[in-house]
Structure 1
Amino acid sequence: MRKLFVVVLCVGLLLGGVVSAQETIRIGANLEMTGAVAAYGQMIWEGVNLIREIVGDTVLGKKVELVLVDNKSDKVEAANATTRLIDKENVVAIIGPAISGSMLAAGPICEEKQIPIISATATNPLVTQGKKFVFRACFLDPYQAAAAAQFAREDLKAETAAVLSDIAQDYCVALGNFFKEEFEKRGGKVIVEQHCKTGDQDFSAQLTTIINANPDLLYVPNYYTEIALICRQARDLGYEGIILSADGADAPELFSVGGDAVEGLYHTAIWDATKGLNDIGQKYIDLYKERFGKDPNMFGALGADAYLILIHAIERAGSTDPVKIREAIEDTENLDVVTGKVTIENGDALKPVVVRKVEGGKFVFVKTVTVE
């Protein structure tokens, strides 16, 4: 430790002054750079660095220094990385793991040590529940389902609905339940509920029951393969009503499996990579396309959001005190980030939900929905 100090001091003197740790603001990045979900962490890291090119890396007159630690897509490693970033690297805040399991391991440590941590993409409600120093940049599944129900009632004018959800996936079941609750809260009626399982190929029994009930809308909050097959079989059986899904539809395979049958499908999404909802979002999209020659991904965009939320919180706090930064994050309201505007409430992100429609074999932006 003494040798390291001497080296830094000498470099500082050579540059004409003493280098102080106070001249930088250290932010940790506890991400999945290797392991089972390495792609998620790598995309988030890519987004964080890209947005730094756009907005700069200085806040309160100090340079922001990012300290990356690979959690190897492992809960124990995520906890260890959190401890290292706080105790050894002296970070004032952390951009946390991508997945909920690792955030659930990291969050309690940050809570105990009073260091704010924000995940780009962890959606489990337990991640932030009962915590003051744990945040997320993405919306929760209940919020997405509520947005779908609001869109179904107000824009699609659906009075009745059917729900066909994948009972083998907690994500799908939860979305279906939350949609029903919100749809009926808004005066609609879910007249039939059916279930399938991941890997099913034949949905004729469920669809026959649904078609006989004659709902205005069919809500299928599943993953893309089952959605595509359900659309094909529903159309073959003569169903002509509206089909609405969630962000599980967002994959190229929806089109290759569903073909013409998915034409007209609506779905809710985190964002639309072809249309910036504000100036910072458009700049991000343009730079990403210029740099990589393709549309940006959701994980990188939400990583950029997490960075922007932190930087603006530090600026508003006027301090590098982690407690004051935490307070400023919680006070975030209508902040322009890459995916739109975001407000933080009880650690969770409230932001517009994008609605898209399949037209001509591709997703086309329809509108954004802010749950009221």
Structure 2
Amino acid sequence: MGGAKIEWVYADTASSSTKVLSEMERLVDAEKVDAIIFSSPTAEVMAGASLYDKLQIPVISTIATSEPLFKYNLKYWRMLSIPSDEYGVSVIKWLKSLSDEYRVKVKRIAIATAEVPWLLTYLEYEKEELKKLGLDKNIVLDLKYSDKSELEGMASILLKIKASNPDILIVNDAASTFPHYWRAAHNIGLYPPVTLYALTAIAYPRARAILGDDLMMQHVVSKPVFFGTIAHENTPHKAYQNLQKKIVPWVTKKGRKMNDYIYINAQAAYAFAKVWEMKGTKDPKVVNDA
């Protein structure tokens, strides 16, 4: 960008939808920002919907699935994450490919879902896709469990899954429970022939602290396991490793702690930087149109 310096201005919604509006107005009116990277869940992104086009500052949301915003046809708002229906549909696409290409058995399908709104949405899309394929009749278990489940409670939940003897297990798990899920699965010997995770981060710091790398790897390599999301600093993917080499020193220098969302936000920052460089301006309308 010709040596131009980028100044980062931070806003904290404090996980409160009501604070979204005041923080966005502060960023635009007081801080005079040229773009906004919004790393918050759908409820908070929704709360700001009335301001995006009014403020006319390009906004990229990075983690929200955001379907409720689509109907507004907003001009100054974009998203990097994929919508909920794609999470649900993609899992069933994996299942169909495994069946068609590798003759994996799908006669007994078990589904386990943490009771979190967006995961329940994924579940509905999964069941809809299974019905289109005529596989809904193969569902032997459709189990929902609390996202507050601890290790002991999770063990009783997984025993029900084990008893259903699935060929394919689909798991819609929450960040709050998946470390306990994996530990309990190991303790009771739950290793289905194939497991499909609609959404999980295999190496959140919390999961690693509870399980340890050895147990995590054992869970993954013991049987075919497919993930919608993987976040680990040792992920053997060239683009990911190159990004890490650039991000980690910068984050460390800033005195901030690394987390999984930083990698996603970096993609939004890259998009803005490329447009500023290509267009040679920070004019919001020009940048937004680009």
Q: TM-score range by the shorter chain?
A: 0.7 to 0.9
Other structure's SS at 1:121 match: coil
Task: Compare the two structures and name the one with the higher strand fraction.
Answer: 1
Q: 1:144 aligns with which of 87, 111, 116?
A: 87
Alignment deviations for residues 124-174 of structure 1 (CA, whole Å, 9 cap, x no partner): 422555222112222233323333222232246445252423362223322
Alignment deviations for residues 281-311 of structure 1 (CA, whole Å, 9 cap, x no partner): 332223456676xx96421101111101222
Counterpart for residue 321 of structure 1: 283
Other structure's SS at 1:71 match: coil
- Show structure 1 runs of 5+ residues with no match: 1-57, 329-372
Other structure's SS at 2:11 match: strand
Matched, 1:121 2:68: no
* Percent identity for Structure 1 against Structure 2: 19
Cα pair 2:39 2:265 within 8 Å, conserved:
no
- Show structure 2 runs of 5+ residues with no match: none
Cα distance in 2 for residues equivalent to 1:298 and 1:247: 14
Alignment deviations for residues 168-208 of structure 1 (CA, whole Å, 9 cap, x no partner): 222332222223334555x4624114113222441344543
Cα distance in 2 for residues equivalent to 1:286 and 1:97: 22
Counterpart for residue 271 of structure 2: 309
Matched, 1:189 2:135: yes
**Greater Rg over alpha carbons, structure:** 1
Matched, 1:170 2:90: no
Structure 2 vs 1, CA of residues 167 and 70 (structure 1 numbering), >3 Å: closer, same or farther? Answer: closer
Deviation (angstroms), 1:270: 5.1
TM-score, normalised on structure 1?
Answer: 0.58
Counterpart for residue 7 of structure 2: 65
Cα pair 1:127 1:134 within 8 Å, conserved:
no
Cα distance in 1 for residues equivalent to 2:109 and 2:43: 32
1:91-110 → structure 2 map (5 Å cutoff): 91-110=33-52
Task: Compare the two structures and name the one with the higher helix fraction.
Answer: 2
1:197-276 → structure 2 map (5 Å cutoff): 197-198=145-146, 199=149, 200-201=153-154, 202-203=156-157, 204-205=159-160, 207-208=162-163, 210-211=164-165, 215-223=166-174, 224-225=178-179, 227-228=181-182, 231-232=185-186, 235=189, 240-248=192-200, 250=202, 251-252=207-208, 255=211, 263-264=222-223, 265-269=225-229, 271=231, 273-275=233-235
How many residues were matched structurally? 260
Cα pair 2:88 2:123 within 8 Å, conserved:
yes
Cα distance in 2 for residues equivalent to 1:289 and 1:309: 19
Cα distance in 2 for residues equivalent to 1:67 and 1:290: 19
Cα distance in 1 for residues equivalent to 2:145 and 2:162: 14
Cα distance in 2 for residues equivalent to 1:282 and 1:206: 36
Structure 2 vs 1, CA of residues 129 and 313 (structure 1 numbering), >3 Å: closer, same or farther? Answer: farther
Other structure's SS at 1:195 match: strand
The code of the aligned residue for 1:166 comes to T
Q: Which moved more, 1:68-77 or 1:103-112?
A: 68-77
Cα distance in 2 for residues equivalent to 1:124 and 1:87: 25
Structure 2 vs 1, CA of residues 245 and 234 (structure 1 numbering), >3 Å: closer, same or farther? Answer: farther
Cα distance in 2 for residues equivalent to 1:275 and 1:240: 24
Deviation (angstroms), 1:253: 6.3
Other structure's SS at 1:248 match: strand
Other structure's SS at 1:84 match: helix
Cα distance in 2 for residues equivalent to 1:88 and 1:289: 30
